[in-house]
């Protein structure tokens, strides 16, 4: 299926948010995810299915005041 991840259109077979995050970053702490503008709490990543056309933001800590 086709996903937009952090602004880039990719082909992915990640069935869940959890599976997608594992392909994006090795970090297990300090990561947050929104799908189609809605926050997906970490506790539900493994249960949250992704669908063709979803827009996913995978975010972490950056330097900032």
Among residue numbers 3 through 42, which ones bind another protein (CB under 8 A)? Answer: 6-7, 24-27, 29-34, 37, 39, 41-42
* Residue with Cβ nearer another protein (1 or 59): 59
Neighbours of 7 (CB within 10 A): 7
56-to-17, 43, 59 alpha-carbon distances in Å: 9, 17, 10
**Residues facing 33 on adjacent strands:** 40, 58
Binding segment toward another protein, per CB under 8 A, in 11-19, 46-54, 57-65: 57-65
The footprint of another protein (CB under 8 A) covers 6-7, 24-27, 29-34, 37, 39, 41-42, 57-65
């Amino acid at each position: 299926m086709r996903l937009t991840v952090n602004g880039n259109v990719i082909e992915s077979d990640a069935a869940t948010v959890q599976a997608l995050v594992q392909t994006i970053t090795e970090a297990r702490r300090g990561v947050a995810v929104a799908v189609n503008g809605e926050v997906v709490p970490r506790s539900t990543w493994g249960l949250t299915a992704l669908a063709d056309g979803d827009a996913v933001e995978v975010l972490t800590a950056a330097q900032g005041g």
